[in-house]
């Protein structure tokens, strides 16, 4: 198995420790930071952990880890979970106040340069990068603010039986081949060729993780993109990535009513052979396999293919990156317990057992489901993190432009236009996004 060597995204900057709330200084002075001192004491108290896990069975599994944690630190009465639907949007709203739990999954919409306003620094990048993968994704000025729940790779789920019925014998290598496969599924089966799960919104953001594959360059997503004045124009990675979404929608290769299409339905319908393909990262492997077994099928009916490239001569790079990361609130009254929980949870088997993903611990291996990708010529890679003046730059341009690379707005707009709910073409949308992007670059003085 290929071992993961590094993960990267943008690095960012935190407020100096002296600017942290008084509770931070008191907690750390009394009990210490367990990431910096493994012998640090843990006090008694109760913490609230915000989670995007909403399924009853998986919540029960989380509670078992909490029991193990309490056994390790007896008498702490430690962990209560608060399960949140529409996590990204709800957590973003909670951050506007001080009531956002003790431990939470850091929302993707938090600018990396502002992490120190909300979260406690766990330790230095130099130290923690030797222990955990992908900690540079939520770090700034050498300080780390979050540990990944798991490490992911990206691709497309598919129902093997449906593809066989459609006469598809090889995994599509290029975007054009993938589009042809979707059309074959439409012609020869009753399955929905490509499911979007439009209604859940966050599901559309899963597409963005395939930017590396479409760009074919580890430097593009977090370094070059911030300086690309043609970021959404024809031929660009963004254009090539989202044209699949548009073209499939425009010719009836998606669900009939996207406004009611959800992630839970994606799992159920694929298990039953009513959906052929669905774009999502590897964290959902276990959930799709469970759905197949719940439907009385073998989990082996679920396949996972690499995302296609624009041309056959490009390397098929598959991104290795983090899922959500656990951070500790600067407002927590029990930061020592919260820090201890983040460290404990990162070192459990949650990522491999319940998320079918890679553990954040250095030295972990990829899941077995990806082993056949090597025969397809896939190369697993990490995006080059932004450094120096580029730290946080992509976030700043994205916010200033109001494009929302990690938000659903323009993705829903693409689908709406394709199915006739908006009077604009794909090029109209992409040209407008590019104009906003360039204007933001000019405002920020980016060359």
pLDDT digits (tens, 9 = 90+) for 330-364: 999 999 999 999 999 999 998 888 766 788 998 88
Which residue intervals of 21-113 are DSSP H helices? Answer: 22-31, 56-72, 87-94
For the beta carbon of residue 353, count every other beta carbon within 10 angstroms: 12
SS3 70: helix
Best CA proximity match to 166, nearest among 178, 156, 174, 176:
178
**pLDDT higher than 70, residue 7:** no
- The predicted model scores a pTM of 0.75
Q: Is the dihedral of CA 105, 111, 116, 122 positive or negative?
A: positive
The whole-number pLDDT of residue 387 equals 81
Q: How many CA atoms lie within 13 A of 31 on its CB side?
A: 20
Which run of H or of E encompasses 156? strand 151-159
Q: Which residue shows structure tokens 């593009």?
A: 220
d(CA 205, CA 308): 17
Tokens of 88: 């990204």
The whole-number pLDDT of residue 77 equals 60
pLDDT band per the 50, 70, 90 thresholds, residue 326: very high
pLDDT band per the 50, 70, 90 thresholds, residue 76: low
Reduced DSSP (H G I as helix, E B as strand, rest coil) percent helix, strand, coil of the chain, to 5: 45, 15, 40
Longest pairwise C-alpha distance within the chain: 67
Q: Which residue shows structure tokens 């798991």?
A: 150
Best CA proximity match to 208, nearest among 245, 175, 234:
245
d(CA 398, CA 38): 38
- The DSSP symbol for 219 reads T
d(CA 210, CA 197): 17
**pLDDT higher than 60, residue 72:** yes
Q: What is the mean pLDDT of the chain?
A: 89
Pairing verdict, β 79-83 and 47-51: parallel
d(CA 217, CA 194): 26
d(CA 329, CA 24): 9
C-alpha pair distances (Å), 147 with each of 22, 65, 159, 291: 23, 17, 33, 29
SS3 391: coil
Percent of the chain with pLDDT over 70: 92
Min mean pLDDT across 133-147, 243-257, 403-417, 433-447 is at 133-147
Tokens of 418: 């394709």
The whole-number pLDDT of residue 20 equals 35
d(CA 360, CA 138): 14
- Cβ partners under 8 Å of residue 21, min gap 6: 330, 331
263 touches 201 (CB < 8 A): no
281 touches 206 (CB < 8 A): yes
d(CA 120, CA 339): 9
Q: Is the dihedral of CA 171, 173, 177, 178 positive or negative?
A: positive
């Amino acid at each position: 198995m290929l071992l993961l060597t590094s993960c990267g995204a943008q690095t960012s900057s935190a407020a100096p420790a002296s600017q942290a709330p008084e509770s931070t200084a008191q907690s750390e002075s009394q009990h210490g930071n367990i990431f910096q001192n493994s012998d640090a004491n843990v006090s008694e108290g109760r913490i609230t952990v915000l989670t995007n896990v909403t399924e009853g069975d998986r919540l029960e599994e989380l509670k078992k880890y909490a029991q193990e944690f309490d056994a390790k630190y007896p008498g702490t009465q430690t962990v209560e979970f608060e399960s949140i639907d529409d996590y990204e949007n709800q957590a973003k709203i909670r951050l506007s106040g001080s009531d956002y739990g003790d431990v939470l999954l850091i929302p993707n919409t938090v600018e990396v340069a502002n992490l120190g306003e909300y979260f406690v620094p766990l330790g230095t990048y130099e130290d923690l990068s030797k222990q955990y993968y992908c900690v540079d994704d939520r770090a700034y000025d050498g300080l780390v603010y979050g540990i990944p729940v798991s490490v992911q790779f990206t691709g497309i789920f598919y129902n093997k039986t449906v593809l066989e019925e459609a006469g598809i014998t090889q995994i599509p290598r290029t975007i054009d081949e993938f589009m042809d496969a979707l059309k074959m599924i439409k012609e020869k089966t009753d399955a929905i060729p490509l499911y979007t799960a439009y209604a859940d919104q966050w599901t559309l953001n899963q597409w963005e993780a395939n930017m590396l594959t479409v760009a074919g360059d580890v430097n593009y997503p977090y370094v070059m993109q911030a300086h690309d004045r043609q970021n959404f124009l024809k031929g660009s990675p963004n254009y090539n990535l989202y044209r699949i979404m548009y073209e499939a929608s425009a010719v009836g290769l998606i669900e009939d009513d996207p406004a009611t299409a959800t992630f839970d339905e994606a799992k159920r319908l694929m298990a039953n052979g009513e959906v052929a393909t669905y774009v999502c990262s590897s964290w959902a492997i276990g959930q799709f396999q469970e759905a197949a077994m719940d439907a009385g099928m073998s989990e082996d009916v679920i396949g996972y293919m690499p995302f296609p490239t624009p041309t056959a001569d490009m390397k098929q790079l598959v991104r290795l990156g983090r899922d959500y990361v656990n951070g500790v609130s600067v407002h927590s009254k029990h930061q020592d317990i919260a820090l201890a929980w983040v460290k404990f949870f990162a070192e459990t088997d949650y990522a491999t057992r319940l998320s079918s993903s890679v553990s954040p611990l250095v030295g972990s291996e990829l899941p077995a489901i990806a082993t056949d990708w090597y025969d397809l010529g896939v190369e697993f890679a990490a995006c080059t993190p932004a450094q120096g003046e580029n730290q946080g730059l992509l976030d700043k341009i994205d916010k200033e432009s109001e494009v929302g690379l990690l938000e659903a707005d323009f993705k829903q707009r693409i689908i709406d236009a394709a199915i006739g709910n908006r009077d604009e073409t794909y090029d109209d949308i992409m040209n407008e996004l590019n104009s906003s992007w360039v204007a933001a670059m000019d405002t920020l003085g980016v060359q």
